[in-house]
């Protein structure tokens, strides 16, 4: 806790300097003495809400911005599912707005019965050949190819009889199309 509190002063100083303000500028705006602000920034005075509130209001930041971020384990720890011969490995957290899976489809002579549901799907074939039956048409998607479609159209996915297919599948349950943006 002491290490976290010790970061308040330097973060406060950084926020002030980021705006190009002097100690005098911020102290005057926040209605406090320059020496009080200087002691807060240097850690020689303990921060209280009474002192911090006028400062964060002037700086346009939150109290949370002055505290260190608690490290979060970014790993997805969801169980792999096996269903109808498929191996489905979740790649996103359970409540993510967009779900991503690595799916291995077993070899299949025929396409399963098409289904319809809300959402939008994007997929990428890692290996094998994927049969996408979509709205009455069959498409064979090979390794390195991608497809996207509205899941409100009748559709089914399966590997071809040639062998299994490994696919990355990204699904938006809200039915919104995915948008990718290039870096400027």
* pLDDT confidence band for 173 (50 / 70 / 90): confident
Query: Would you state the pLDDT for residue 179?
Result: 42
- pLDDT higher than 80, residue 130: yes
Query: Would you state the pLDDT for residue 175?
Result: 55
Cα–Cα–Cα angle for 129, 169, 95, rounded to 5 degrees:
160
Cα dihedral across residues 124, 129, 130, 136: positive or negative:
positive
Q: What is the average pLDDT across 1-7?
A: 78
Q: How far apart are CA 86 and CA 45, in angstroms?
A: 61
Q: Give pLDDT tens digits for 63-101.
A: 989 988 777 888 999 999 999 999 999 999 988 888 999
Q: What is the average pLDDT across 150-177?
A: 89
- Strand-pair category, 129-134 with 155-159: antiparallel
What are φ and ψ of residue 150, in 5° steps?
Answer: -80, 120
Contact indicator for 158, 127 with CB cutoff of 8 Å: no
């Amino acid at each position: 806790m002491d290490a976290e509190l010790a970061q308040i002063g330097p973060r406060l100083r950084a926020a002030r300097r980021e705006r190009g303000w002097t100690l005098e500028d911020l102290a005057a705006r926040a209605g406090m003495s320059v020496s009080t602000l200087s002691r807060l920034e240097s850690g020689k005075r303990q921060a209280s809400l009474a002192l911090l509130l006028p400062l964060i209001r002037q700086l346009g930041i939150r109290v949370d911005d002055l505290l260190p971020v608690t490290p979060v384990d970014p790993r997805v720890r969801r169980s792999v599912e096996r269903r109808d011969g498929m191996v489905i490995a979740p790649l996103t957290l359970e409540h993510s707005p967009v779900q991503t899976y690595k799916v291995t489809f077993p070899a299949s002579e025929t396409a399963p019965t098409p289904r319809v549901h809300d959402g939008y799907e994007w997929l990428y074939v890692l290996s094998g050949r994927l049969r996408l039956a979509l709205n009455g048409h069959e498409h064979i998607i090979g390794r390195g190819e991608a497809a996207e479609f509205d899941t409100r159209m009748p559709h089914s996915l399966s590997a071809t009889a040639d062998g299994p297919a490994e696919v990355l599948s990204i699904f938006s349950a809200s039915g919104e199309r995915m948008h990718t943006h290039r870096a400027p």
